Structure 1
Amino acid sequence: MSKKAILKYVTTNGLMVTGEGLNKPTLCKVWFKVFVDDTVEVTVENTYTGNTIRRLGKKIISREELRNMPEDPYNSMVFNKAAFDLFGLSF
């Protein structure tokens, strides 16, 4: 099995979030790992420990879906909300 080459990473700000799959409010980031084949692996990381929160799973989206996520150059919370919504998390 060959590994796919990683093109870049995109991440949210670290935010205190709650949701199903979390036992208590947790400081987290959503990471988007963009591969050269235009697929994107999305995971949630505990910002305190740096570990991926496996019980939240991972999502595979297209690079186009990542590009189409709402964002505002003057308000990073717009992108943050859309990213955490992928996992049913809220802040």
Structure 2
Amino acid sequence: MAKLAELRTSRGMTQHQVARLLGTSQSRVSVIESTPIDRLLIGTIQRYLRAVGADMSVYVLIGDQTFPVHVGDEQDGWPDAARHRAAEVQA
């Protein structure tokens, strides 16, 4: 069983319950759970984890130093802000 599915079942949740929380279908949850985690988008993983009551942290390793990374999503406006900054730089 894939790690995300293991987490979901350990929390006593069904795919239908997770789908309802994500606003998607049970079949989409099945696809997410069967996809290798390194092939999923960070935002997909983050939303899934929130739905099952978990959280995530992302870090960048440069040499022997580790730096935390903010993982934004549509709710906090981060992608829009990043797009605006990118547009300003290109202008």
TM-score by length of 1: 0.30
More strand by share: 1
The structure whose Rg is larger is 2
More helix by share: 2
TM-score by length of 2: 0.30
